[in-house]
Amino acid sequence: MKILVTGGAGFIGSHTVVELYKAGYESIILDNFSNSEKAVLDGLTTIIGQSVKYYEADINDAAAWDKVFTEQQIDGIIHFAANKAVGESVKEPLKYYRNNVAATVLMLEKMQEHGVSNLVFSSSCTVYGQPDALPVTEKSSVKPANSPYGNTKQICEEIISDTVATEKGLKAISLRYFNPIGAHESALIGELPIGVPANLVPFITQTVAGLRGQLSVFGDDYPTSDGTAVRDYIHVVDLAKAHVSALALLLEQKDKNTYYDFFNIGTGKGSTVLEVIQAFESSTGLKVDYAIKPRREGDVTAVYADCTKSNEVLGWKAEKTLAEALADAWRWQVAVSKR
């Protein structure tokens, strides 16, 4: 069974390709390598023991979609490809609406044209904005987004839901995941942002590796245990496995005309920025040079998941610890630095 993975050379996508292989699926990657490197393909080949078919193309290219669907018998799509930096989205909103929203519309149109019925969509906990209560459940209100990035995820979920409601046979799941970190235990694939990292953990590892200056901790005046913002940090391998579970659930709905649902994917535990730094230092024995800076526009105070629905309906549960994720992230950084 062939699964098209858009953004499959990226951080989460590449780990999902590995887990799909382990579950017996064949992955086809569609990626323009704008935020990834082709070296990832070599890492995937080493991990799974065979090369992965890929198409180098942009997801806004209609001809590319036609080429993939014509040449491959695609049974489902896991859609990762998107711009994802909150801060950048505030500065360049049109870039995010074009690449995240317009491309999703095009994908759905091409799925209709070519009879592809199953979609797992990479959504985000940003759809909840600043929640009224924690932990966040799937029944929590979807709030006005704090950033254009978060708004693109809300809009895409609505577009997918509306399309499922009118397109007979289309089935989709949106995974609202929290903060993915870590790397594959082999240190052959991991998070490799192009340019300055927008996320906490790669900035920590690059700072400790001497590639960045002092780490900036944005805000120490939040109403949290130590004044820094709280997030739910999930190991990327656990997150990848959730996509395989979601795909399996979709395939179980083959006799239904339509199916749409959404799930939180996290650990169920929030950690402050300072707690993450301390956990990194404890798991690696290395010190992190950091300084407190003003709050960053678009950030919320705290968000972490209630994953009861994912545990019960998907049959999935996060297994790896924060310390394991940070140790894996550091091993990956060391491996990258040796290249």
Catalytic residue annotation: 149
From the number of C-beta atoms within 10 Å of its C-beta (0-12, 13-18, 19+), residue 230 rates as buried
Single out the residue of 260, 75, 67, 12 nearest to residue 156, CA to CA. Answer: 260
Angle formed by the axes of helices 148-166 and 103-114, nearest 10°: 20
**Residue at token pair 């999902």:** 16
The sign of the dihedral angle between the CA atoms of 292, 199, 307, 150 is: positive
Locate all alpha helices (DSSP H) within the chain, ordered by sequence: 11-22, 39-48, 62-71, 86-91, 93-96, 103-114, 148-166, 200-208, 236-252, 273-284, 308-309, 322-337
The secondary structure of 103-161, three-state, reads HHHHHHHHHHHHCCCEEEEEEEHHHHCCCCCCCECCCCCCCCCCCHHHHHHHHHHHHHH
d(CA 308, CA 311): 5
- Contact residues for 30 (Cβ-Cβ < 8 A; gap 6+): 4, 5, 6, 7, 8, 54, 55, 57, 59, 64, 68, 81
3 state SS of 218? strand
Q: Do residues 297 and 246 lie in contact, with contact meaning Cβ atoms separated by under 8 Å?
A: no
DSSP helix, strand, coil percent of the chain (3-state; round to 5)? 40, 20, 40
Going by the DSSP 8-state scheme, the letter that residue 205 receives in this structure is H
